[in-house]
A and B are shown apart, each in its own frame.
Chain A
Amino acid sequence: MASAGDGEFGFQIAPMLDVLFVLLLFFMVSAGAQKHEASISTQLPGGQPGNDIPVRIEIDVDGQVSLNGETTDTPTDHILPQTVARLKTIVAENARQPVVLIPARSARHQRVVDVLNACAGAGVKNLAFGASPE
Chain B
Amino acid sequence: MVDVLLVLMLFFMSITSTELLKKEKNLQLAEAKNATPQDKKPKTNEVVVNVGWEPSNGTAVFTMDGMKYPSADSMLGVLSASIQHNPRVYVLIRADKDVEYSNISDLMNTCATAGISTVTFAVITGGATNNKPEVTQ
Identify the A interface with B (CB < 8 A): 13, 16-17, 20-21, 23-24, 27-28, 30-31, 34-47, 59, 78, 101, 103-110, 112-114, 116-117, 119-121, 123-130, 132
> 20 interchain pairs (CB within 8 A)?
A27-B16, A34-B16, A35-B126, A37-B122, A38-B122, A39-B36, A40-B132, A42-B108, A42-B136, A43-B136, A44-B108, A44-B111, A44-B116, A44-B119, A110-B31, A113-B32, A116-B32, A117-B35, A120-B34, A132-B105
B108→A27 contact, CB < 8 A: no
Binding-face segment, B7-15, B63-71, B80-88: B7-15
CB-CB nearest in chain A for B10: A27
- What's the least CB distance linking A32 to chain B, in Å? 9
B contact face: mostly helix, strand, loop, or mixed: mixed
Identify the B interface with A (CB < 8 A): 1-2, 5-6, 8-9, 12-13, 15-16, 19, 22, 29-38, 51, 92, 95-102, 104-105, 108, 111-112, 116-126, 128-129, 131-137
